[in-house]
Amino acid sequence: MNHHNFKILLLSLSACFLSLAGKGQNIQENQPVISTDSMDLQGILRQVTGTHPAILKAMEGIQSAEAGIGLSRSTYYPMISGQASYTRIGPIPDITIENLGSIQMAPGNVLNGSVDISQVIYDFAKTARNVRLAESSRDISEKNVDLVKEKLTLLTAVSYYSLVYIQEAIKIKDIQLGTLNNHLDFVNRKKETGSATQYEILTTQVRISTAENQKFDLLKSKKTLWGVLNALLGNPVGAALSVKNNYGLEEPVFRSDSLVNYALEHRNEMLLAHLFEKYAVLNLDAVKIQNNPVLGAYGSGGLKNGYFPDLEMPRPNFAVGIGIRVPIFDATRHKYNVRIASSQINTTKFETESVKREISAEVNENEAGLNTSKEKIKQCELQVRQAEEALNLAQVNYSIGAITNLDLLDAETSAADSRLSLLKARVDLAISIVRLDISLGKPVK
């Protein structure tokens, strides 16, 4: 998955449930349901990391790298080939000797069949270094699989907890709407007796309409999250999903000053950067000896005709030998290949330093986000307690006629909003823990 596209998708997903200010639409919930059981995060992660095509594609990279290792090692083995040919020549070469007549020097029908073998005896470490280079490529492919899993885990976890928030927020809105509709029935009955005004009725209706629009926005966001999670799981995009309301994650236990050091030792991006450095060094080593001599042996054996005294009769034959190939001048190719390989080493070092800085900034940002989420939960819990106390007082005062119906509605709305804020803060904390775990290179539990 492209890193830039992944960030765009993650930001869009966050905006989906953090900002619900669009126009409300009446979203129907009669979608096909994949499972009647709620899914937990670990179950979803197992399915995503086991079946997602991005991971399967990355795993194919390992297979390709393994094949590359075998290809590099093939130089250790002999090359064996067979060949057969028939050739008609003319005129047939002959010589004439006085008093002896003509003597044919070659057959008119030339037959040849042979088995040829060639074997590199010594190539001055060229094959060994190419094998090490191919093994380094395999290490990169294996670590790339871990990196893809990490990115999909983050996207899946954010989607999961966003859906947790939406599900619970809809329940809170349903309770709020039930209360508002009860109030509307009550003031309608009071109006019949002349003890309520049309203003109270209209104000209650406006509150109901506002709450319904907010619920429609939540339903729209839930449908969007279904699409994201279903795409990750490989389900039909429009299928309904239900996830377990579980966001009690264990916070990372580290000293603040050790978080960055831990991340630099365990993050897949950092490990991958070091592997690219190693690959660049091995590549330079391989390039430097490209022009080393190659000592080899060859042999050939088979049947062919053309031997005296019977030129037409095929006879066994063989040829064996040893040879060495020494490049003398390659038009400066070797010189510039070495320069390119050396430059790649510097490039990978700069990339490693860039990744190091990005990880440090990311850990710092996620640690700050986690601490902020914890403080928000404390404030939201206080707000919920205060809103519940205010609602209880409002109910008492309303029962004795000290406040109006609209004052009671204000208290009930504040209580519902405070519960939504607390839910949002808890989900934000769960997402913050996931982000920090992944930025540290820890598995999500």
- What pLDDT, on a 0 to 100 scale, did the predictor assign at position 8? 44
The answer to whether 60 and 148 have CB atoms below 8 angstroms apart is no
Q: What beta strand segments (E) does 28-169 contain?
A: 79-88, 94-97, 101-104, 109-122
**Amino acid found at 122:** Y
- What pLDDT, on a 0 to 100 scale, did the predictor assign at position 19? 46
CA–CA distance, 319 with 309 (Å, rounded to integer)? 21
Q: Which residue has the higher pLDDT, 175 or 17?
A: 175
Average pLDDT, the chain: 88
The region of weakest confidence among 186-190, 248-252, 409-413 is: 248-252
Model pTM score: 0.81
pLDDT tops 80 at residue 34: no
The answer to whether 315 and 303 have CB atoms below 8 angstroms apart is yes
Residue with tokens 């986690």: 370
Residues 114-137: tens digit of each pLDDT? 999 999 999 999 999 999 999 999
Element (H, E) at 323: strand 315-325
pLDDT tops 90 at residue 414: yes
219-232: average pLDDT? 95
Supply 63's token pair: 């297979």
Cα distances from 9 to residues 5, 23, 266, 269, 323, in angstroms, run 6, 22, 25, 20, 60
pLDDT level of residue 294 (50, 70, 90 thresholds): very high
The answer to whether 116 and 83 have CB atoms below 8 angstroms apart is yes
The answer to whether 292 and 403 have CB atoms below 8 angstroms apart is no
Residues 66-85: tens digit of each pLDDT? 999 999 999 999 999 999 99
- What pLDDT, on a 0 to 100 scale, did the predictor assign at position 256? 63
351-365: average pLDDT? 96
Task: Give me the sign of the Cα torsion angle 87, 90, 92, 93.
Answer: negative
Residues 373-391: tens digit of each pLDDT? 999 999 999 999 999 999 9
- What pLDDT, on a 0 to 100 scale, did the predictor assign at position 25? 35
What is the 8-class DSSP label of residue 234? T
pLDDT level of residue 326 (50, 70, 90 thresholds): very high
Of 37, 440, 1, 18, nearest to 259 (Cα)?
440
- Residue by residue, DSSP assigns 376-405 as HHHHHHHHHHHHHHHHHHHHHHHHTTSS-H
pLDDT tops 50 at residue 316: yes
310-323: average pLDDT? 92
44-50: average pLDDT? 93
pLDDT tops 60 at residue 33: no
- What pLDDT, on a 0 to 100 scale, did the predictor assign at position 375? 95
Residue with tokens 């020494």: 326
CA–CA distance, 351 with 363 (Å, rounded to integer)? 18
Contacts of 365-374 spanning 24+ positions with Cβ under 8 A: 366/432, 366/435, 366/436, 366/439, 367/256, 367/259, 367/436, 369/432, 369/435, 369/436, 370/251, 370/429, 370/432, 370/433, 370/435, 370/436, 372/432, 373/425, 373/428, 373/429, 373/432, 374/429
What is the 8-class DSSP label of residue 78? P
- What pLDDT, on a 0 to 100 scale, did the predictor assign at position 247? 65
pLDDT level of residue 437 (50, 70, 90 thresholds): very high
CA–CA distance, 270 with 293 (Å, rounded to integer)? 38
CA–CA distance, 101 with 224 (Å, rounded to integer)? 100
Per-residue b or e along 289-315, where b marks 16 or more CB atoms closer than 10 Å to that residue's CB = eebeebebeebbebebbbeeeebeebe
CA–CA distance, 384 with 294 (Å, rounded to integer)? 80
> Helix, strand, or coil here: 224?
helix
The answer to whether 215 and 170 have CB atoms below 8 angstroms apart is yes
The answer to whether 287 and 341 have CB atoms below 8 angstroms apart is yes
24-33: average pLDDT? 39
Cα distances from 141 to residues 10, 21, 55, 237, in angstroms, run 24, 43, 11, 30
pLDDT tops 90 at residue 10: no
> Helix, strand, or coil here: 71?
helix
The region of weakest confidence among 19-23, 54-58, 142-146 is: 19-23
- The number of helices, as runs of H, and strands, as runs of E, in the chain is 9, 6
- What pLDDT, on a 0 to 100 scale, did the predictor assign at position 432? 93
Residues 229-275: tens digit of each pLDDT? 999 999 998 899 999 877 666 666 666 668 999 999 999 999 999 99
Bridge partners (DSSP) listed for residue 294: 325
- What pLDDT, on a 0 to 100 scale, did the predictor assign at position 355? 97
262-290: average pLDDT? 96
CA–CA distance, 227 with 241 (Å, rounded to integer)? 9
- What pLDDT, on a 0 to 100 scale, did the predictor assign at position 281? 97
The answer to whether 72 and 257 have CB atoms below 8 angstroms apart is no
Residues 81-116: tens digit of each pLDDT? 999 999 999 888 888 877 777 888 888 899 999 999
Verify cis geometry, omega within 30 degrees of 0, for the bond prior to 443.
Answer: no
